[in-house]
Amino acid sequence: MQPKRKHRHLLSNLFMLLLMAVTFYIIFKDNSLPDILQALRGLNPLFIAVAAVMMLLSILFQGLALGEPFNMFGCPIRLRRKVDYALTGFFFSAITPSSTGGQPMQIYYMCRDNLHLSHATVSMLVANIGYQFILLAYGISMYLLRFRLINDNMQGFTALFIFGIVMNLVILLAISFALFSANFAKKLANGVLTLLCRMRIIKNERAYRAYVSRQIDEYAGCSELIRRHPLMLFRVLLYTFLQMTAQYLVPFFVYKAFGLSGGSLLDLLALQAALYLAVSFLPLPGAVGASESGFVRLFGLFFSAGNIVPAMLVSRGISFYAMLLLSGAAVLYMQARRPDPSAKRRVRLLRTGGTFCRTHRSA
């Protein structure tokens, strides 16, 4: 890892630690630590385990969504690699403002495993279309289904919720144009390459520029294949829906772990969907601070005053902080391991058989 890149990651991590310190100071200054520990002792471990499984399933479904386009390319990825890429995205999204670092690093590790840059970029575009569409549709649907519940409890988060909807619409349209417009796709691929060069991840810029120039002609054919394979896009949308549902269910199982009742699954699912949409575009690493305060405000309707802070700690601990440690360990493993040799063999077979898009057009 280059010194400048290390420096940026170090600054980002320090900023996140500062946000965490401020957040937990605000939380604990008005709450007794013994009372919080007492509330945590009464948790049902079975429901806590189910909540943890939900987060693992969320990562699994994200990996399946990322890998689905490669099946269409005739270059399937091992399940372990799909999970690795999902964990990489989680880690670098968590430590960078507005989750800007996740996708470039996913593309980097895909290319490091000898997958085509064009295929990796298109795969990320398809996955992002699925993610932005489901995030937006989920949030709006839950808002309509539980309008009074969300509207009466959003308080200071209403503006953020509207901002999240607008930003999602803009990004969804931009990604769609990138995928189905060859010129826009070319600019996007070169933009990603420029970013990787500036981050000092790629050293030989001229060689990679030439490689991108050779590969860029495949985009039109790949976009055509996506149009001809709508089931692939449907599966990406399905996996993304399952990914978000599993993640959004964490507060519900934490709620059950406290032995509480009265709040329905749909109620807690709706609140979590609205909260996630509201904080997803804040320029804060991992939305630290906003997610914690939002949880206390929104879910205070279903948790008692003595349980809301412990519930937030458990829910965010499972859905973010524990996953941050797990994904960080996965990134260290990926950095240490050698590139996937089977991927290199598959790429060689594709190259000897001609470009991917030409091969499949004649099929």
Strands (E) across the chain are located at none
Is there a contact between 139 and 165 (Cβ–Cβ < 8 Å)? yes
pLDDT at 347 over 50: no
Q: Which of the four pLDDT bands, split at 50, 70 and 90, describes residue 348?
A: very low
Cα-based distances in Å from 41 to 36, 261, 322, 326: 9, 19, 19, 24
The mean-pLDDT minimum among 51-65, 160-174, 337-351 falls in: 337-351
pLDDT for the residue numbered 355: 39
**CA-based nearest residue to 302, from 344, 271, 273, 339:** 271
- What's the average model confidence in pLDDT over 116-139? 86
The mean-pLDDT minimum among 85-89, 109-113, 157-161 falls in: 157-161
DSSP assignment of 17-61, as one string?
HHHHHHHHHHHHHTS-HHHHHHHHHT--HHHHHHHHHHHHHHHHH
- What's the average model confidence in pLDDT over 123-145? 89
pLDDT for the residue numbered 351: 43
Better-predicted residue by pLDDT, 261 or 11: 261
Better-predicted residue by pLDDT, 8 or 35: 35
Segment 287-315, tens digit of pLDDT: 777 888 889 888 988 998 888 989 999 99
Structure tokens given for 6:
């290390």
Better-predicted residue by pLDDT, 339 or 5: 339
Segment 220-275, tens digit of pLDDT: 555 676 777 889 989 999 999 999 999 999 999 999 999 988 889 999 999 999 99
pLDDT for the residue numbered 214: 58
pLDDT for the residue numbered 340: 61
Dihedral sign from CA coordinates of 351, 353, 354, 358 = negative
Share of the chain above pLDDT 90, in %: 30
Segment 310-343, tens digit of pLDDT: 999 999 999 999 999 999 999 888 888 766 655 5
pLDDT for the residue numbered 173: 75
Task: Report if pTM > 0.75.
Answer: yes
pLDDT at 51 over 90: yes
Considering the chain, what is the average pLDDT of its residues? 79
The mean-pLDDT minimum among 140-144, 182-186, 239-243, 290-294 falls in: 182-186
The mean-pLDDT minimum among 65-74, 85-94, 177-186, 267-276 falls in: 177-186
CB-hemisphere CA count at 13 Å for 181? 10
Is there a contact between 138 and 244 (Cβ–Cβ < 8 Å)? yes
- What's the average model confidence in pLDDT over 334-357? 53
Is there a contact between 289 and 15 (Cβ–Cβ < 8 Å)? no
